[in-house]
Amino acid sequence: MIDFRYHLVSIVSIFLALAVGIVLGAGPLQGQIGDTLTAEITQLRSDKASLRTQVTGLEQTTADQSAFEQATLRRVVAGVASGRGVAIVSLPGAEADVATAIADTVVAAGGTVASRTTLDASWVALDDATVTKRDDLAKELATTTRVATVTTNDTAPPLFDRVLAAALTADSTTIGQDAARSALTSLVDAKFLEADPKTAVSAQLIVVVAPSTNGADTKALQTELASWVSLTRALDASAAGTVVAASADPAPAAKDLTIIGAVRKDKAAVTTVSSVDNAQTPMGLASVVLALAQQETGTAGHYGLAEGATAAFAPLPGSN
């Protein structure tokens, strides 16, 4: 009987409390609660409007800055690449618009686009058939391009990479333009790359255009990136300078790997090859050409806003 009374009192208490709340809410506290909620809603609307105004202002500021950079880009790079031939090598997944913008900037800097090459994914594929085909062709073209098939350097890039480097940078003192074009034609016919060998000329400098991201961290991807880093080292060894450029990934995942990142983490490449991670912007395009000029002085730099960058932009020639 005691237990029943206890539960009955508890239930009655709950309903009484509920009734009191309803009465107070509909009576003395009604105005106060309503006024509080109204004030909070008004404040939230004001904050939203203020934030919208700030965002609009920041977007306009960014647009104005970009317009100014674009307008002054040609003056900043004028003459920087004068008399220099630049080969542009696009890796699989690289944005064609970025490669074209780099080519236009090279011309604005007084340089010449010596060649434009787009590599196929088979360049670093590891299936047996592709490896055999690649190795056989490399040995064949090594004779044409006068590249040593055997080196005493254990860290030397693969023969296939060195053959391409020789073909892109050939001049009258090395293998000659005809031999270089013949090697490029063989690589095109084998579907390892796309290019126009008939218009290719000797390059003193090279820009490697990389995709903004390559994917999540896996063992297979790490192996692939290591192969692309070896290629950049081979190109750099054959040219007066090499810059790896990519557009910034708008939303990189924490575990995403990139060729730019791989170059910056490679002990051999980081001190010899330069990199620019925001080549889709006027500032980045200027950095690509300025970094090429810096490369010719024997200095490597890493520019942009991504991890591993040593500065936001490359220095003008002669500046400290």
Tell me whether residue 23 is exposed, middle or buried, using C-beta atoms within 10 angstroms of its C-beta: 0 to 12, 13 to 18, 19 or more: exposed
Same domain, 183 and 281: yes
- Asked whether residue 57 is assigned to any structural domain, the reply reads yes
Same domain, 13 and 132: no
- For residues 317 and 296, give the distance between their C-alpha atoms in angstroms, rounded to a whole number: 11
Same domain, 53 and 22: yes
- Among residues 79, 93, 66, the alpha carbon closest in space to that of 213 is found at 93
- Asked whether residue 199 is assigned to any structural domain, the reply reads yes
- Asked whether residue 207 is assigned to any structural domain, the reply reads yes
pLDDT band of residue 49 (cuts 50, 70, 90) is confident
Same domain, 239 and 201: yes
Among the ranges given (54-63, 137-146, 228-237), the one the predictor scored with the smallest mean pLDDT:
54-63
Residues 118-177 pLDDT 10s: 999 999 999 999 999 999 999 999 998 999 887 767 778 999 999 999 999 987 667 888
Residue 8 has pLDDT above 70, yes or no: no
Same domain, 56 and 108: no
- For residues 313 and 293, give the distance between their C-alpha atoms in angstroms, rounded to a whole number: 13
Mean pLDDT of 246-275: 87
pLDDT band of residue 64 (cuts 50, 70, 90) is low
- Asked whether residue 317 is assigned to any structural domain, the reply reads no
Same domain, 91 and 49: no
Half-sphere exposure of 47 (CA within 13 A, CB side): 6
Among the ranges given (51-60, 157-166, 260-269), the one the predictor scored with the smallest mean pLDDT:
51-60
- Asked whether residue 218 is assigned to any structural domain, the reply reads yes
Domain count, the chain: 2
Amino acid 56: pLDDT:
78
Amino acid 58: pLDDT:
74
Same domain, 288 and 159: yes
What value does the mean pLDDT of the chain take? Answer: 86
Amino acid 203: pLDDT:
96
Same domain, 280 and 227: yes
Same domain, 87 and 204: yes
Mean pLDDT of 45-65: 75
- Determine the structural domain holding residue 284 and report its residue range: 81-303
pTM for the complete prediction?
0.79
* Interstrand relation of 193-194 and 112-119 (parallel, antiparallel or unpaired): antiparallel
pLDDT band of residue 1 (cuts 50, 70, 90) is very low
- Asked whether residue 311 is assigned to any structural domain, the reply reads no
Same domain, 146 and 33: no
- Asked whether residue 75 is assigned to any structural domain, the reply reads no
Same domain, 157 and 293: yes
- For residues 99 and 23, give the distance between their C-alpha atoms in angstroms, rounded to a whole number: 72
Same domain, 99 and 60: no
- Asked whether residue 310 is assigned to any structural domain, the reply reads no
Mean pLDDT of 279-301: 95
- For residues 198 and 295, give the distance between their C-alpha atoms in angstroms, rounded to a whole number: 28
